[in-house]
Amino acid sequence: MLSLLMDALHRECRLEFSDCDLEVRDQIAYVRGNVVDLAQKRAIARAFKSVPGLRAIVNNLRVTPLLPRSDQRIASDVRTALANTGPTSPIPDVKVIDGVVYLSGTVGPIEAAKTAEDAAWSVPGVEQVVSNIAITALCPRTDQDILKDVETALSRYLGLGSKIVRAEVHSGIVYLTGRVESEYQKALSEDAAAWTPRVVDIVNELLVTSRPPN
């Protein structure tokens, strides 16, 4: 399967994989390394999804521009990305220090704050995003709403489906069960759940094993 992934990468993206590491275990592709922009990261994920028999993709590629970027340039691009996210108003304030983006200000729904963070992360050269955005409209969310968002986060950011990691939510507490293949993946699963709005706490009962789940 590794050769099929490499062929798809070259065919779909016209890219070689010299700056990235690719590993396949139990029909799950693990990719890590550096790409020059978010579009390239997404293109690689699309190429891999075209390979038959692949169960999931854990995309840990980091967006790193070819040349160092100034804080001023990063801040300008973050503001542009925020302006392009849609009707979110007002746009959060942006400060960049040593590649770390600090967002502040006030937005309406909590989803707008998460959208702003995602937009900031999409800019090349960003090392970290620190959000101090205040929320003015906190809509009630049921456990089912939270569960849906947790499952989306696990799938979108880690490539982990419900057959690998199972989530349950009771009174805002997320319970993670199932099997993963490393302590790193276990920690990433918990982080993905922690970013979900209205999560009160996380009980991480994931087992680390190289054996795929039934």
pLDDT of residue 162: 52
pLDDT of residue 214: 46
Q: Which residues contact 114 (CB under 8 A, 6 or more apart)?
A: 195, 197
For residue 169 the two structure tokens come to 């939510």
Cα–Cα distance for residue pair 141/171, rounded to 1 Å: 10
* CATH topology assigned to domain 143-208: Histidine-containing Protein; Chain: A; (3.30.1340)
Q: Over its length of 214 residues, how does the chain's per-residue pLDDT go in tens digits?
A: 778 877 777 776 656 555 678 888 888 888 888 777 777 777 788 788 888 888 888 877 777 766 678 899 999 999 998 888 765 557 889 999 988 999 998 876 777 788 888 888 888 888 888 888 877 655 557 889 889 888 888 887 666 655 678 899 998 899 999 888 888 888 888 888 887 777 888 999 998 886 544 4
Domains 71-137 and 143-208 share a fold: no
Cα–Cα distance for residue pair 84/72, rounded to 1 Å: 19
pTM of the model: 0.44
**Residue 124 near residue 37, CB atoms below 8 Å:** yes
Cα–Cα distance for residue pair 118/95, rounded to 1 Å: 16
Q: 3.40.50.300, 3.40.50.620, 3.30.1340.30, 1.10.760.10: which CATH number matches 2-63?
A: 3.30.1340.30
Distance (Å) of CA 66 to CA 34, 60, 63, 77, 122: 10, 18, 10, 16, 15
**Residue 142 near residue 169, CB atoms below 8 Å:** no
Ranges of each domain in the chain:
2-63, 71-137, 143-208
For helices 2-13 and 38-49, the axis angle rounded to 10 degrees is: 130
Superfamily, domain 71-137: Fe-S cluster assembly (FSCA) (3.30.300.130)
For residue 54 the two structure tokens come to 């692949």
